[in-house]
Structure 1
């Protein structure tokens, strides 16, 4: 796992899995939300985000999780040596995102998205998850299929159980 890109809709466990992979292989980890968002959920200026994204994907070893901007996902997937697509049913993304919001409110969330201190507005988060499923995921699935046809390793994880089993395999459990 030299350059692993983990993509999928919000709340699906991309960052948690990325931390596991990075730890197991001693690989640098970048969470796209840290590049895309500034405190208060203010989007990073496009030119800054593009420059940071290009710098990260140019490295020889990485684990990158998240979506960021749709127009830059093909660059990341093109540079990746392995792609992990977390592609669970929409209701599961809503469920897991709601659990994360509740944990955040309770002060029990160990890793906040992007390391941000302010919780994203729940309505905006759910709207984003809906839009990603409707508009982005068909394109992302197609990009993953095209990469696989070109011989790239693509792993599709469609449930929490599959994600947990994959993480256990990485840990050697």
Structure 2
């Protein structure tokens, strides 16, 4: 377990899990949000994002959370040796996105791009969640399984701690 990809819908605890995993393994954690957005909260150019992403996945070890672009998503799947898909019930994703907004009134969430609007981010996350069933489906999981035949793939339905209540998709 040297190159770990953590992915799933917004508000599922990807960053929380990634940070814990980083502490336990000593592998550096990278949030895609921090390379996808500049200090003022604006998206960086596609070329700048892809260059930085390529640098990250070319490294010997990493933990990367987030989605990024569809191309970078598949590149990470190909480069990773371990995939962790966090897939909680939708109501939990919606609730945790809202909870993150409320908590941001006291302090900026760790890993949140500097200068990014929490309200815009929350609305974008809720919109993404509304559209998610069209993307996060059995066809996607079948494509992931096909590309990840020699990888360890964890599908977290609920997580109460590191790797708790997960089942292995790969054989």
Quick check: TM above 0.5? Answer: yes
State how many pairs are aligned.
Answer: 163
Give the CA RMSD over aligned residues: 2.2
Runs of 4+ in structure 1 displaced over 3 angstroms? 114-118
Question: Against the structure 1 CA distance between its residues 74 and 128, is the aligned structure 2 distance closer, same or farther, given a 3 Å change threshold?
Answer: same
1:8 aligns with 2:12: no
Which has the larger helix fraction? 1
Higher relative contact order, structure no. (Cα contacts within 8 Å, ≥ 6 residues apart): 1
Q: Measure how far apart 1:22 and its partner are.
A: 1.1
Alpha-carbon shift at residue 165 of structure 1 (Å)? 4.7
* Matching of residues 152-167 of structure 1 within 5 Å: 152-161=151-160, 164-166=161-163
Confirm or deny that 1:57 pairs with 2:54.
no
Distance 1:120 1:48 in 2: 25
TM-score by length of 1: 0.84
Separation (CA, whole Å) in 2 of partners of 1:123 and 1:110: 16
- Give 1:123's aligned residue: 123
Shift of 1:124: 2.6
In the alignment, the residues of structure 1 paired with residue 57 and residue 6 of structure 2 have an alpha-carbon distance, to the nearest angstrom, of 13
- How far apart are the structure 2 equivalents of 1:115 and 1:65? 17
Are 1:34 and 2:31 matched, yes or no? no
**2:169 match:** none
Deviations 1:139-162 (A, max 9, x none): 6423332244x121000101243x
Q: TM-score, normalised by structure 2?
A: 0.85
Matches within 5 A, 1:52-131: 52-107=52-107, 109-114=108-113, 118-121=117-120, 122-131=122-131
Q: Secondary structure at the match of 1:111?
A: coil
* Unaligned runs of at least 5 residues, structure 2: 165-171
